[in-house]
Amino acid sequence: MFTIEHDFDATIVTLVDEGTQPLQEDVVLTAFEDCITVEQYDPRSDRDLKITLSLEQVRDLSAALNLPEGVYRLRKAPG
């Protein structure tokens, strides 16, 4: 399950783990104009962990999810 919310300066997607046990904590992706943050609560450290991805990194991650093992570089289409 996931939710989508639109704030003034960001879109927030929350991924809720509904799989089999053990379940993972919710993952919150916040999309800003120039980056995306990914946050998840870590019960072992009792902290929210956060990483920030550039839009280029998100583009590459999206492409990588559908490719076999290897090294790739995305290029803009000619035109």
What radius of gyration do the chain's Cα atoms show?
15
- Sign for the pseudo-dihedral over CA of 35, 36, 40, 44: negative
pLDDT in tens, the chain (79 residues): 899 999 999 999 999 999 888 899 999 999 999 999 999 999 999 999 999 999 999 999 988 888 888 888 888 788 7
Element (H, E) at 5: strand 2-6
Q: How far is CA 63 from CA 4, 7, 9, 46, 79, in A?
A: 22, 27, 26, 33, 21
